[in-house]
A = this chain, B = another copy of it.
Amino acid sequence: MEFAYSPRCQDYLDKVRAFMDAHVYPNEATYAAQLAANGLERWQPLPIIEELKEKAKAAGLWNLFLPESEDGAGLSNLDYAPLSEEMGRVLWSSEVFNCSAPDTGNMEVLARYGTAEQKERWMKPLLAGEIRSAFLMTEPDVASSDATNISCSITRDGDEYVINGRKWWSSGAGDPRCKIYILMGKNDPDAVRHQQQSMILVPAGTPGITVVRPLNVFGYDDAPHGHMEVRLDNVRVPASNMLLGEGRGFEIAQGRLGPGRIHHCMRTIGAAERALELMVRRAMSRVAFGKRIADQSVWHHRIARARIDIESCRLLTLKAAWMMDTVGNKVAQKEIAMIKVAAPAMALKVIDDAIQVFGGAGVSQDTPLASAWAGIRTLRLADGPDEVHERAIARMEMKRLSNEG
């Protein structure tokens, strides 16, 4: 065992940190101001992002996420994880490095399962940061964490597929730069349980698509990216847009979700680390009843637990990344499920304590805490709620012990 980051990882980490210091933290206010200046026209890209993307490219900090591919920086999941954590300290900063969801997951899907043509048409501009993408999976009317419940239909009709359904939490689908959706639907409800689903490429703007409305997360619309409800009425796409083949949607989903979850977890850990930093600094700066808050033992308890829980979770996540690198995403599924449950729960507690020490400022726009909390709260629901992952972990434990006899 060895707990130090690799030299390659450490080197990138130093660069990402320097970039954050030089370009991201100083522009948090700019970002807010540009968004506010848009008034009700909130679904517009912000100039500061495009500006910083150029700087990140120039610094060699671009597409860091893509393991086992010539198109990325060639970092393993393990080496990428600490970089992702760093980006998580400012939630919008991932896009600056072309490392933001759902594009990263979508690029991974195209890299692994796309045809040469699909890659040329969609992956290339995504890798270049010229367009963005959306992932249409979750549905409002069913418990879609159980993939067999998915009801959106994909029906073959000659050289085309016809798509009908309603999706929501389609993040980024309101962004004018968003040019392509990867959609999960059912092509054959009569097939065996996990071969009913397919994934297909749907260009934004195809007739029949309606972006119904933005969804809020605890009052935040998360503009300009946002989360959209999308209706698809007889949307027709060429048969060649099918990914991998009919009935293989579940298989792709499994492959897609592993890395996506690792990234979310690492960003979540970064957000928690920043919250702890803010909490400690605030506690050192305020006095109540004649004593610094930092000298009150209830805050010792909270700070210590935060440090313990962040570090535990980080190690758990890094181990999951290491397993993905060494034994593959499939064998690592228990470890991935574990961090999917553990990281958001940990961060919500840490951030909530940080909010508490800030008082009114903590829930307001004056700190990044409340928005981080709200965003991370959705991670206990997105890509399967906690309950689904806990069930999976428990069943794997049972299976292991049953096999041991």
Contacts and interface: CB of A to CB of B under 8 A. Distances in A.
B215 A218 contact: no
A25 interface: no
A387 to B, nearest CB: 6
Interface string A304-317: 11011001110110
A338 interface: yes
Contacts of A168: 360
A298 B356 contact: no
A216 interface: yes
A373 interface: yes
Nearest to A400: B280
A366 B360 CA distance: 26
A303 interface: yes
Number of copies: 4
A210 interface: no
Query: Majority SS of interface residues in chain A?
Result: helix
A390 B218 contact: no
Contacts of A40: 39-40
A146 interface: yes
A9 to B, nearest CB: 8
Given A219-B221, A284-B398, A303-B394, 14 more contacts: A1-B6, A143-B359, A146-B288, A219-B374, A280-B397, A294-B398, A296-B298, A304-B393, A305-B341, A305-B390, A311-B316, A312-B313, A315-B316, A360-B381
6 contacts: A2-B322, A219-B219, A298-B301, A300-B394, A311-B319, A315-B315
